[in-house]
Amino acid sequence: MRKIWLVAGLSVTLVAASATPAVAGDDLPFKVKADRVWATPMGPNSGCPEGYVGEDSLSIGTGTHLGRFELLETLCLCFRTPPIAPFEVRGEFVTANGDDLLFDVYGEFHLGTGEMTRSDLLFVGGTGRFKSTTGGAEEELICDDTGIIGVTMEGTISYNASDGAG
């Protein structure tokens, strides 16, 4: 019986010793799924550049490196240069412990064809463990006949988990 406990104790010690936090420079898989809770109607928005209209939204979901989160997004769209309407999205994942992960997306929407070009979502830092985050993800919107109802994202993230250690 003593041998079994010794082996089990040694195994637990080895696993604990090899479990290290994310280190800056590591490109780690990043994946999230969120359901949209609400969105404001498109209109004047103080979070958008002059000449743009905007929409704020809140989604709730789970993701790698985030756990459970709220996703706050502001979509800003400019109709001054038809048929091309440039847009930008500023987003913030708020984790359960209060750390924020920030991102930007830029693109253009063609009003005549409905085609959209955009950059991938780019991480631009945050707070806590995400203070010096880099990386990005591809975003896929989940839609039905009422509009956007959710989002999935997949990509890579690099951050130093000890940034949030206090």
91: domain CATH number?
2.40.480.10
- Is residue 88 in some structural domain? yes
Cβ neighbours of residue 74 closer than 8 Å, sequence gap 6 or more: 45, 47, 48, 54, 55, 56, 89, 90, 91
- The per-residue pLDDT for range 117-135, each reduced to its tens digit, is 888 899 999 999 999 999 9
Residue-number span of the structural domain to which 98 is assigned = 22-164
Expressed in angstroms, the distance from the first to the final Cα of the chain is 41
- Is residue 61 in some structural domain? yes
- Is residue 4 in some structural domain? no
- Is residue 137 in some structural domain? yes
pLDDT at 145 over 60: yes
**Total structural domains within the chain:** 1
Q: What is the pTM of this model?
A: 0.80
- Is residue 134 in some structural domain? yes
- The per-residue pLDDT for range 48-100, each reduced to its tens digit, is 999 999 999 999 999 999 999 999 999 999 999 899 999 999 999 999 999 99
